[in-house]
Structure 1
Amino acid sequence: MANNVSYFFCGIGGSGMLPLAMIVQARGAAIEGSDRALDQGRTPEKFDWLRAHDVVLHPQDGSGVRVDQIVVATGAVEDTVPDIGAAKRVGAEIVTRPQLLSQIFNAAPTSVGVAGTSGKSTITGMIAWILSQAGREPTVMNGAVMRNFADADHPFASALVGGTDLFVAEVDESDGSIARYDPTVAVVSNISLDHKSMEELRDLFGGFTGRARTAVLNLDNVETAALAQTMADDGRAEAVLTFALGNEAADYAAHDLRPLPAGMTFDLTERSSGTRITATLNVPGAHNVANALAALGAVRALGVPLEEAVKSLETFGGIKRRMEVVGVRNEITVIDDFAHNPDKISATLKTLHAFDGRLLVMFQPHGFGPLKLMKREFIETFAGLLKADDVLVMPEPVYYGGTTDRSVGSEDIAAGVRAEGRNAEALHDRAACGDRIVALAKPGDRIVVMGARDDTLSTFAEELLGRL
């Protein structure tokens, strides 16, 4: 990446764009950008922080785009986005975020790509913390804020700017961009229906692991276990490290999981060395134990000593919006959580139900498409994991216009959950959901704000706490 190049990030405040912009800036480029949220006056503190870090901001109307810039688009390069239309008119070079990120990733001598339907951000954060503690100075691109690296100067620490020799990145399969990455170590946490058909997902993940020197795969997930078997059948068994809960056949296994109020303790075994040690996490849930095993497999593939890695995990502070406790007021706890697909929702509900207390869940879908694709799975997850006195409330999905099929909405999910004997309501908007939750809440309850791709959900959670 050449110095003195100017990049224009369209949607620079987004969880995927902001950290990439910071990494590109650290390598000598000038950064400019625009964002719809800036124009609408949302999350002003984020844009103040960007300005303070020498990022020039423009309205998202195409006025800031110049011919001498490389314009970075979030995904699809559509003329309906004013900046992209302007870039095409003036002849500026346009790259997508996945193109730019994969170029930087593939240029690193050693790279770790973390993929899978669920757990990517947490595993990426764990790997980042272990490698940083080991003095390896990784550059890390995550899709969420890593609390270990967040401070007053870096409140949006979803990126870690380190050296150029080691790059760790969360890799997305939902847009197919996983096909662009050539990792040294490929981690796949799990594969399940989310944005694409299972056939498409198998091809994408198979290619991703096939291009890696080492693949770290989960034996507890049917699809990733099958991927490990396929690699073994192809004569690449030595290129595979496996992990699982309670399975002695896995290279890294966790046994005797013991929940703590805010974490987990478990016995860890490493098959190759015969080592068995006790490990402690300060993030809750069996799913985070599985995430820790995935991270351990990745860093062991890079030569970090096992005991050193386990010790670093004890001080891993978690990922923002992953079952993050916003606060407690009048014995009511408010929790902010990123869960947005059936797998993630299931992990959150199981973890929270390990302890007593009614759950009041506000789930904001992040689009009409996922609701239609996974209608049955959403209904089964909520109906199966909500307890009799829990309450689910849902606003209509986030909708920014366009030609999206809106045939399945929140009431379709809520009606399905009610038909299975659980409490579920679909309300017009988020404000109505907030009013309903505040009216229902009583001491001992836990309010869970669930949803993705909307920074204002955290503000909503804080406002709920203030109303209790």
Structure 2
Amino acid sequence: MSDGKSYFFVGIGGSGMMPLAMILAARGAEVAGSDRALDAGRVPAKFDALAARGIALFPQDGSGITSARQIVVASAAVEDTVPDMIAAARVGATRLRRAELLASLFNAAMLPIGVAGTSGKSTVTGMIGWILHETGRDPTVMNGAVMTNFVSADAPFASALVGEGDAFVSEVDESDGSIALYRPQIAVLNNVSLDHKSLDELRVLFGDFIGHAGRAVINMDNDEGAALAAALPPERRLTVAIDGDADLIATHLDPRPFGIDFDLVERGEAPIRVALQVPGRHNVSNALAAIGAVRAAGVPLTNAAAAIAGFTGLKRRMERIGTANGVTVIDDFGHNPDKIAATLDTLHAFPGRLLILFQPHGYGPLKVMRHALVASLAARLAPEDVLVLPDPVYQGGTVTREVTSADIVADLTAEGATALHIADREAAAAHLVAEAKPGDRIVVMGARDDTLGVLARSMLDRL
């Protein structure tokens, strides 16, 4: 990438944009960018980290785009009325979608490993990256979350890893249809469930994705994934399951509050005991998918099992922020029915009331997920739990507000759950802090908003 190209990222602080910018900068490209969060003074440490990597930062007012030789990278959500996009059109700069740029890097790699699925993508990507790193494969990893194993004073926002090995590991996104751009040698399909698109659309997108792969690793515990696996020849699939019929299975699960142990069995082989440092049955599924991917890449099973035991997780994935006055604060990325279900099921396996602040990640997704989200929450909220919903994330642009947080609360109340709509997020947080008693666990949930992690830490401070 050190071919004299100049990239300008509009929204460079985004979870999908920042690691891509860091990979390009590490490969010698000239990289600059802007972000509304930077202009608003939100999460300044993130932008300090980008600047420390030699990435120039500009206000999102068009001032950073001055030449036709610049390649302007933006997500599909960035509207043409944003001043940077107006400037790009004025100077004749080439525009690329983030996914188009990432796919071009991914497809050019010697060993592209793509991780797909409605839930668990970032964790599986981090697990694969960690195993390959620990086994000397020196991968490049593109993640949508900070991988705590790679965090250091020099890399506080380690959502990307740049290596010299053949493997390029990346999560791939189905929400905007860009998954169709990727051509993985090894494809991972963790699960298929309702989130941004209808199941009919998802079946086509995920089916085509694994169909393009040389080898597909598929979670057979997910009915939709198992149905897609049936369309592949046996030699092109590697199946995983918990207590099921698959090439790689997990048995004898033994959960701990912030970890879980299990027996790992490859078809016909003796079991290997694995102790994960991340909790929950869903993380056993994630571990199986990651181990399946590295097995397809040639890593011996014993080496993979030993390495994954050292995986410490991701920021905002059931991350324990701390405990004060007997109350533990947890920060979690849960935002769709399946992710929320996995978090609540894991936490309810151990004592303690849950005080949940769930900030929906947008009005559009809330409309799509409404009924499934309400069903998931209503089935899992214990009588003593308290759920508070502030208004959804809104970061500018045009959006219809057909379904709101108040609608979700009304639906849940009709189901007999304890739920409150407190529009202002700070007020919602203050309500839960005031409500908390020793033994409770406060859970901050949501996506597309980096300040949720800051909020969780501020709640701990108030406690």
From 396, 421, 438, the equivalent of 1:426 is 421
| Matched letter for residue 380 of structure 2 | L
1:382 corresponds to? 377
- Report the 3-state secondary structure (helix = DSSP H, G, I; strand = E; otherwise coil) of the residue aligned with 2:230: helix
Q: How does 1:71-86 map to 2 (within 5 A)?
A: 71-76=72-77, 78-86=79-87
- Counterpart in the other structure of 2:12: 12
Residue 42 of structure 1 corresponds to which residue in structure 2?
42
* Residue 418 of structure 1, CA deviation: 1.4
Matches within 5 A, 1:362-401: 362-401=357-396
Return the letter of the residue paired with 1:267. Answer: D
In the alignment, what sits opposite 1:286?
281
- Identity of matched residues, %: 61
Q: Which residue of 1 is the match for residue 269 of structure 2? A: 274
Q: Distance in 2 between matches of 1:164 and 1:70?
A: 27
Paired residues of 2:332 and 2:443 also in contact (CA < 8 A): yes
Q: Which residue of 1 aligns with 2:214?
A: 213
Q: Structure 1 137/311 Cα, relative in aligned 2: closer, same or farther at 3 Å?
A: same
Shift of 1:3: 2.4
Q: Is the 1:118–1:190 contact (alpha carbons within 8 Å) kept by the matching residues of 2?
A: yes
Counterpart amino acid of residue 281 in structure 1: L
Q: CA RMSD in A?
A: 1.0
Q: How far is 1:102 from its partner?
A: 0.2
Which secondary structure does the structure 2 equivalent of 1:217 belong to? Answer: strand
Please state if 1:146 is matched with 2:147.
yes
**Does the CA-based 8 Å contact 1:395-1:428 persist in structure 2?**
yes
In 2: Cα distance, 1:164 partner to 1:175 partner: 30
Change (3 A) 1:73 1:147: same
- SS at 1:71's partner residue? strand
1:91-110 paired onto structure 2 within 5 Å: 91-110=92-111
List aligned pairs for 1:170-185, cutoff 5 A. 170-185=171-186
**Do the aligned partners of 1:108 and 1:164 also contact (CA within 8 Å) in 2?**
no
Q: 1:416 deviation in Å?
A: 1.3
SS at match of 2:231: helix
Aligned twin of 2:191: 190
2:439 to 419, 437, 444: 444
Q: Any conservation in 2 of the 1:78–1:85 contact (CA below 8 Å)?
A: no
Q: Which amino acid aligns with 1:35?
A: D
Aligned residues: 462
Question: Does the 8 Å CA contact 2:22/2:50 hold for their aligned counterparts?
Answer: no
What CA distance in whole angstroms lies between the structure 1 residues aligned with 2:31 and 2:239?
Answer: 40
Q: CA deviation at 1:76?
A: 4.6
Q: Which moved more, 1:316-325 or 1:159-168?
A: 159-168
Structure 2 residues not aligned, in runs of 5+: none
Q: What's the TM-score once normalised by structure 1's chain length?
A: 0.97
CA contact (8 A) 2:137 2:165 kept: no
Counterpart CA distance in 2 for 1:376 and 1:16 is 28
Q: Gaps (5+ residues) in structure 1? A: none
- Runs of 4+ that moved beyond 3 A: none
Out of 230, 239, 243, the residue aligned to residue 240 of structure 2 is 243
Moved more, 261-270 or 166-175: 261-270
Q: Classify the secondary structure of the residue corresponding to 1:230.
A: coil
Q: State the distance in 1 between where 2:56 and 2:284 align.
A: 41
C-alpha displacement of 1:279: 1.1
Q: Do the aligned partners of 2:140 and 2:160 also contact (CA within 8 Å) in 1?
A: yes
**Paired letter, 1:382:** L
d(CA) in 1 for partners of 2:390 and 2:77? 27
1:296 deviates by: 0.7
Instruction: Give 2:163's aligned residue.
Output: 162
Question: How far did 1:165 drift?
Answer: 2.2
Partner in structure 2 of residue 325 of structure 1: 320
Question: The residue matched to 2:73 in structure 1 has which SS?
Answer: strand
Deviation at 1:225, TM superposition (A): 0.2
Matches of 1:375 and 1:333, distance apart in 2: 29
Q: Distance in 2 between matches of 1:97 and 1:57?
A: 18
- Structure 2: how far apart are the matches of 1:77 and 1:357? 42
Deviation of 1:164 after TM superposition, in Å, equals: 5.8
**Paired residues of 2:321 and 2:329 also in contact (CA < 8 A):** yes
Per-residue deviation, residues 227-281 of structure 1 (Å, max 9, x unmatched): 11111xxxx211000111101x20111111111232111111101x423111110
Tell me if the contact between 1:268 and 1:276 (Cα under 8 Å) persists in the aligned partners.
yes
